[in-house]
Amino acid sequence: MSKSKVTSWKALSLVCVLVLGISIPLTALNMNASWQTEMTLVPESGLEQLAGTLHLPIDIDGDADFSTTASNEHWPGDGTYEHPFVISGLDIDSGDTGVHAISIRNTLVNFTIRDCYLTGATPSPAAGIYLSNVAHGLIINNRISSNHVGIQLSSSSSIVAINNSCTSQTEIGIWVYGSDSITLADNTCTDNTFGCVLEYSDYNTVVDNTYNDNTNTGMYLVESNNNTLSGNTYAGCGSGISLYQSHANAVVDSICNGNTDVGLRLTESSGNNLSGNACDRSLYGIYFDLSTSNTLSNNTCTGNRQSIYFTDSHSNIVVNTTCNDNNDTGIWLSVSDFNVFQWNTFADNARNAYDLGIDNVFDYNYWSDYEGMDVDQDGFGDSSHNFTDNFDPHPLVYKPDPPTWIQSPIDQSVEFGHLTFYYKLNVIAFAPLTWHLDNGFFDIDSDGVVTSRVLLAVGEYGLEVTVVNIYARLLTGSFKVVVQDT
């Protein structure tokens, strides 16, 4: 019988088994036969079929065991940095037996797990990929679905997980436990209970991941310090990001929108830097509980019920943050003292601020309900802005946001002999502006119009433009003017 006929017969047999509901134990399959299938969609179901080599769950304990297993399985590599062991293209279904699909423990060799489909590692404590006391691993381009935990890294270091899909786990998409120097990048963890958990784990980097539609929390840090979370998306979860007893972390440039409860929550946490995050359209945008000495800067909290809420939280700094269009309050302080709020925007909330604490400082903020005057036109109100149990002595007359380009400056060409060069620059700004130009052959007026002072000779002219608002917030741009004689 030809090879193609054998393959067709096997595929037909598998279909018959599935249709009739007959159960075949994995141990009965000849795993050395490398039974290959292509990834397809079952008609009218949308379910993905297998896409690789069917394989039993893998259990490796120690470097020697890794070398022996790699030799028996004919995996490429020798465990060195230059030639890591490679586990690739496997379909492993643990069959809900409580066994990890891939388990690697107590190794220091270099290895890669890539392009695998891992499922059925339930119930607890099973995981699609389980690494314990391991270093020097790369986990890349795997589809990990319907396990208890997608990827679990325990007591490990120097592990990189990139571009993996961890969906529909019963508990956690990626769980980093007691592990340091871990990098998680470009992973997608959706429809789990928790998208990603860092527990007792320090000095890790989590960048450009998507943790959406997890029923409890997108990203949860528990007693984890000095981690960097940057450019991640946490949307449609119970809470977007939660930090519990976690300190000195950086949470930057995140999207925490449309969560049921909180966009970004800190509990008993201190010394964290929260910058450039969008916390919109949740019950609470940002919520602090028993948290001290944190810095919030350049965040937006719009369209929530409560924008920023502090309870029993002290000595925090909030600057350059926008709290607009919230259904209840822009900033609410409950039993929270010695916090500082400067250069923020509180606009068009049902109530812009409510302070039930002691010695909280509000200064140089914009308030949409400020009713004072600015006679000297310096951009600051001539009288204080008063609100519940506090006041701002220097309210801003304009929103302090820096100007932004409607269109960034682009290079210009002009024919030699034209008497005047003309180019209009356009920005969005809330406050009065001043324009500056660094090239002596050109002028710029108060409307951002660049003109030439003299008849321009053939050549190339580099220009840098700076536009500054009344609060010294600036924007720069550069372009070239090329004079041609054609």
User: What was the pLDDT predicted at 486?
Assistant: 83
Tell me the two tokens of residue 172: 């956690």
Model confidence over 175-186: pLDDT tens digits?
999 999 999 999
Mean pLDDT confidence for 90-111? 98
pLDDT per residue over 234-249, tens digit each? 999 999 999 999 999 9
> What local confidence, expressed as pLDDT, does residue 342 receive?
99
Domain count, the chain: 1
| pLDDT-wise least confident of 38-52, 152-166, 327-341, 447-461 | 38-52
DSSP labels, 461-477: EEEEEEEEETTS-EEEE
Q: Find the domain containing 433 and state its range.
A: 404-484
**Is residue 194 included in any domain, yes or no?**
no
Q: Give a yes or no: residue 71 inside a domain.
A: no
Query: What pTM did the predictor assign?
Result: 0.86
Task: Give the CA distances from residue 246 to residues 20, 203, 224, 373, 439, in Å, rounded to whole numbers and listed in that order.
Answer: 53, 12, 5, 44, 50
Does residue 40 have a pLDDT over 80?
Answer: no
Type of residue numbered 378: D
Terminal Cα-to-Cα distance of the chain (whole angstroms): 76
- Mean pLDDT, to the nearest integer, of 179-198? 99
Distance CA 219, CA 211 (A): 7
**pLDDT, average across residues 304-311:** 98
Question: How far out from the chain centre does Cα 356 lie?
Answer: 33
SS3 441: coil
Instruction: Answer whether residue 476 is part of any domain.
Output: yes
For residues 213-218, give the mean pLDDT: 98
Share of the chain above pLDDT 90, in %: 88
pLDDT attached to residue 37: 37
The CA angle 17-167-278, to the nearest 5 degrees, is 165
pLDDT at residue 51 in the model: 54
Over range 392-399, report the average pLDDT. Answer: 98
Alpha helices, DSSP H only, in 264-390? none
Smallest CA-to-CA distance from 210 within 250, 164, 244, 145 is with: 164
Q: Which burial class, exposed, middle or buried, applies to 362 when counting CB atoms under 10 A from its CB (0-12, 13-18, 19+)?
A: buried
**pLDDT (0 to 100) of residue 41:** 40
432, part of any domain? yes
How many CB atoms within 10 Å of residue 22? 8
Tell me the mean pLDDT in the region 149-170. 99
- Let me know: does 12 contact 37? Beta carbons within 8 Å: no
Strands (E), 189-328: 194-199, 205-207, 217-222, 228-230, 239-244, 250-252, 262-267, 273-275, 284-289, 295-297, 300-302, 306-311, 317-319, 322-324
Please indicate, yes or no, if residue 308 is contained in any of the structural domains: no
User: What are the percentages of helix, strand and coil residues in the chain, rounded to 5?
Assistant: 5, 45, 50
Taking residues 81-98, what's their average pLDDT?
A: 98
Whole-number pLDDT of residue 419: 78
What confidence tens digit (pLDDT) does each residue in 111-151 have? 999 999 999 999 999 999 999 999 999 999 999 999 999 99
Is residue 17's pLDDT more than 60?
no
Q: Quick one: pLDDT at residue 21?
A: 36
Helix (H, G, I), strand (E, B) or coil at 70: helix
Mean pLDDT over 260-275 rounds to 99
Establish if 211 belongs to a structural domain: no
Instruction: Flag whether 90 is in a domain.
Output: no
* Weakest mean pLDDT among 253-257, 258-262, 298-302, 429-433: 429-433
Tell me which of 262 and 27 has the higher pLDDT. Answer: 262
Q: Is 50 exceeded by the pLDDT of residue 26?
A: no
Confidence at 34, pLDDT banded by 50, 70, 90 = very low
- Specify the DSSP element, H or E, that contains 157: strand 157-162
In a domain, 105, yes or no: no
Residue 375 Cα to chain centre, angstroms: 44
Q: Give residues with Cβ within 8 angstroms of 64, minimum separation 6.
A: none
Burial class (CB in 10 A: 0-12, 13-18, 19+), 196: buried
Give the span between the Cα atoms of 56 and 203, in whole angstroms: 35
Range scoring the smallest mean pLDDT among 30-34, 202-206, 321-325: 30-34
In the chain, % of residues over pLDDT 70: 90
Q: What is the pLDDT of residue 215?
A: 98
State the CB neighbour count (10 A cutoff) for residue 311. Answer: 17
Q: What is the DSSP letter of 327?
A: S
pLDDT at residue 118, as a whole number = 98
- DSSP code for 36: B
Length of the chain (residues): 486
pLDDT at 93 over 80: yes
CATH number for position 452: 2.60.40.10
Task: Indicate whether 202 pLDDT > 90.
Answer: yes
Residues 6 or more apart in contact with residue 60 via CB below 8 angstroms: 66, 69, 103, 104, 105, 107
What is the CB neighbour count within 10 angstroms for residue 268?
17
